Amino acid sequence: MSKTLDTPLNVAEPVDRTPPGPRPRKRSWTYAIRRDWQLYSLAILPLLFFLIFRYLPMLGNVIAFRRYRPGSDSLFERIFGESWVGLRYVRLFLADDTFWTVFTNTVIMGTLTLLFCFPLPIMLALLLNEVRVRSLKRFVQSVSYLPHFLSIVIVAAMVMQFLSLDGTVNQIIKGLGGQGISFLQQAEWFRTIYVSSEAWQTVGWGTILYLAALTTIDEDLYEAARIDGANRWRQTWHVTLPGIRPTMVTLLILNIGMFMAVGFEKILLLYNPLTYPTADVISTYLFRMGVVSSNFSYAAAIGLFEAIIGLTLVLSANAIAKRTVGASLW
């Protein structure tokens, strides 16, 4: 009988008990910087920008708790205020009826902007994704995202020209037998005007982001859905929307973070004292209190309050998104 057949079948193989060799050391961040210093050097200017124009100005929030006067003799007092007053300015704006009117306008304007301007790019991207004529798709894309590159001043000027008493909209109304409407002088029209212009200006740019996300979806998923008998609506619901869900969640969190910072420039250019009851928001109120009226400490207290609310909204939205859909910013 051969030697192979004489070997018992139930004999366990010998175990190698030699101690393992030394594990490779983790490379430090200094090694990574030395190796790819050219790439890391590209981040120097953006980091300096955020440090100088974003983080260093945060030190100025201390004047929300100090009495500030720009013409003080001491350099320290010119920057950080004269004397400590605690929560005096916080109590002032919390007891101010005008502030709560402005706060309500900000919440309403932010809610309307989020409800209308967030889903519109998704809908347009889904519609363009179904277009098979390449030239038509490119034309619609170009027309839709062109307003994003227009200056806020130009957009505000266009809105005022269209909605003036002798503008295009009133000419159409008068041609149909109606009477002209002073849109920009009536407070009840301002929110509609702002949200409409904001949607017109931002829908195209958001569509580009979602179209880029749509290209990452595997075509085999659509093929499998068609084999299972899913029509285009089912494919959109079960394949397309889950495929772009991380992008949707990321942009939603960013939009929620900007919820309180409703477009300052456009509102400042479009509103007037007649539309203050619905148009005046926290950012414009801060401008009038801080820059126009030189009440810097009071404006800083309101700005700090707004920033805390924005930070809370971002953290809450990120935590909820992470727990519910499994996608978040961090």
35-89 confidence digits (pLDDT tens): 888 888 998 999 999 999 988 888 888 888 988 877 777 766 777 777 888 889 9
Q: Using an 8 Å Cβ cutoff, are 259 and 106 in contact?
A: no
Q: Is the dihedral of CA 67, 291, 267, 257 positive or negative?
A: negative
* Sign, Cα dihedral of 125, 130, 135, 136: negative
Flag whether pLDDT at 15 surpasses 60. Answer: no
At 247-264, the pLDDT tens digits run 898 888 888 888 888 878
* CA-based max dimension of the chain: 113
Tell me, rounded to whole angstroms, the distance of Cα 150 from its chain centroid: 19
- Extents of the domains making up the chain: 108-294
Q: What span, in angstroms and rounded, lies between the C-alpha atoms of 206 and 21? A: 53
At 293 the pLDDT is 86
When pLDDT is cut at 50, 70 and 90, the band that residue 7 belongs to is very low
CB 206 within 8 A of CB 145: no
pTM of this prediction exceeds 0.75 = yes
pLDDT tens string 168-198: 999 999 888 888 898 989 999 999 999 999 9
* Cα–Cα distance measured from residue 121 to residue 126, given in angstroms and rounded to the nearest whole number: 9
Q: According to the CATH classification, is domain 108-294 in 1.10.3720.10?
A: yes
Write out pLDDT tens, residues 196-242.
999 999 898 889 889 989 988 888 888 898 988 888 889 989 899 99
Closest CA to 105 of 287, 286, 278: 278
